[in-house]
Amino acid sequence: MEEKIPLQLAIVYLFRSHTNYLRKTLKNTGITIGQFPVVVETHKHETISQKELADILFLSEGTISKTIKQLEDKGIIEHEVNPENRRQNKISLTEKGSEIAEKVKYTEINWEKKVIEEIPPEELDNFFDNLKKITNKAVNYSLKE
């Protein structure tokens, strides 16, 4: 009989394998794993504010600001001051950024398809239902502690 992997270890293995996949996929794009979600999320919008981006990605505005600066230095993202609110920057991808985003936008979908391809749909539905319950319980538990 195969030994069960503890939940926390299974999550670590899943996370590390995903990180390795992303690292290989992004190797020749000029963006890092940390910059990847900013590029992909910005690509979904014509323009987006730094605050909106931070909220969507659950990152601090400081982290978003630093990442945007790095991507600007690479010619991937550009920003302009919002004329309606001078304290807000409007972020958009450059042509180079759009080309990169088009290359990598299906990265997550492809990875997920590959890792779940052999699991029957009814088992997947059950798995995702249970994963949602576990996640909600873990979040609530950590907030109480």
Decide: 68 and 79 in contact? Cβ < 8 Å.
yes
Look-up: residue for tokens 């576990």? 134
Look-up: residue for tokens 């000029």? 30
Alpha-carbon distance of 87 to 103, in angstroms, equals: 32
User: How do residues 18-31 score in pLDDT, each as one tens digit?
Assistant: 999 999 999 999 99
Quick check: 83 pLDDT over 90? Answer: no
pLDDT reported for residue 1: 63
Beta-bridged to residue 93, according to DSSP, are 77
pLDDT reported for residue 116: 93
Q: What is the pTM of this model?
A: 0.78
Beta-bridged to residue 85, according to DSSP, are 82
| 4-13 average pLDDT score | 91
Half-sphere exposure of 68 (CA within 13 A, CB side): 23
Q: In CATH terms, is domain 7-105+119-144 a member of 1.10.10.10?
A: yes
